[in-house]
Chains A and B, each alone.
Chain A
Amino acid sequence: MIDMEYVTIQFSKAEINNDENGLIPAFDVFLTKIQGDYYSQISFEFEKIFAEGLQNDPETLEAARELLIEAGHVCGFNTFGGIMKSDEFYSVVVPLIQEKEDWIRGMVAIINVLGWGVYKIIEVSEEKLILEIKNSYEGDAYVRCYKTHSDSPKCYLAVGASIALMSLVFHADISQKPELDDLLYDNLFRKSRKYTGKETQCIAMGHDNCRIEISRI
């Protein structure tokens, strides 16, 4: 099994800084280091306004949340996909991989340098991924901004990106370096979707940690 701590430390040393154009090209994408509160607050405000317009109808709320989770698919698909195809991943992680689940372990170890909180794998197989997140930036933002607990989980990006991670490893077979294009995206998340997931505990609700469960449909 991969030494996740080793991978985290190796990737934490990577210099991910802006170039002379004020941009941060890395892993075949352009990165930004915007405050987590920006993403979180625009998402929560969106959810609120969306629901208010339709008298807080539960189905409407669910539709708004689905949109935010889909943004997480886009994130995971492109960023994780780019990282797992990168030279850096091939030099640090791939030599340690013994089984398919190690792709998940390696990538989760790298998530821990993104500022998103501390992700810990509780269980992983092709059927299921259970993650426990300490200090998830979305849940943390909720509690700080609204100074209260929510009655539903708030880590939409974390759920969407985790579904994308399982889809990339066990559905798209990222080890074959597939093209990360619209066609593949459509297959993974629409046409022949294989994974779904939910957040079952969230610090925004007052739990100690967030817990995310991804399973095969």
Chain B
Amino acid sequence: MTEFKLDLSNGELLIGGKRAVLHCNHYNTFLQRTLVDALGDKMVEVQIKISQKINTEMLRNLTQGIEDKKSAIEKIFSALGLGILDLNDLENGRSTVSNSHYALNCYYKFGNQKEGVCLFATGYVRAAAEILTGQKKDFFETRCISIDPDQNEMCVFEVRT
């Protein structure tokens, strides 16, 4: 189910009918930072929303007909290389990510961050909530490894009320 299919004749790496592309931590971190540095919070919102949209579509395709959708969605997150997602507390408006790709790389490259940097993960958690609960929920990252790895063992996403 988390199988990627490489179609060499079209240069496509497919998952759930969507095109995935390989990129590295340096690019991911730099691109995100460039967009936010140039335009501020507006781009934070844009990145979360686009992640939510594209992940909802992909996860819907991938979890169709699957009984344990929750663990499938967690596994896909790791298969994308983003860390370990735990959705066990999702019903209570909370989820966590350990070893967040974006958080660790932002921290190593730029030091302690002021705010959470896991924008893609935030959108992914929102997509997971939409699929698993049938409702759109505005999750935000309330703790991030990148802010202080000694204080925050993992990134935490919660519904802001």
Contacts and interface: CB of A to CB of B under 8 A. Distances in A.
Interface in A29-43: 29-39, 41-43
Interface of B: 4, 6, 8-13, 15, 18-28, 30-31, 34-35, 38-39, 42-43, 46-47, 50-51, 54-55, 58, 77-85, 98-99, 101, 105, 120
Interface of A: 8-9, 12, 16-18, 21-24, 29-39, 41-43, 45-46, 49-50, 53, 64, 67-68, 70-72, 74-75, 77-79, 82, 112-119, 134-135, 137, 140-141, 157
Nearest to B26: A78
Q: Chain A at the B interface: mostly helix, strand, loop or mixed?
A: helix
B105 A30 contact: yes
Contacts of A141: 19
Most chain-A Cβ atoms within 10 A of its Cβ — which of B9, B31, B84?
A: B31
B15 to A, nearest CB: 7
B43 A34 contact: no
B21 A34 contact: yes
Contacts of A33: 4, 13, 15, 20-22, 79-81
Contacts, number: 184
B54 A67 contact: no
Interface centre among B23, B42, B98 (most CB of A within 10 A): B23
Given A30-B25, A34-B23, A140-B19, A115 B31 contact: no
- Give 10 nearest A-B pairs by CB, closest first: A115-B13, A22-B78, A75-B27, A24-B81, A29-B24, A78-B26, A118-B11, A117-B11, A32-B81, A22-B84
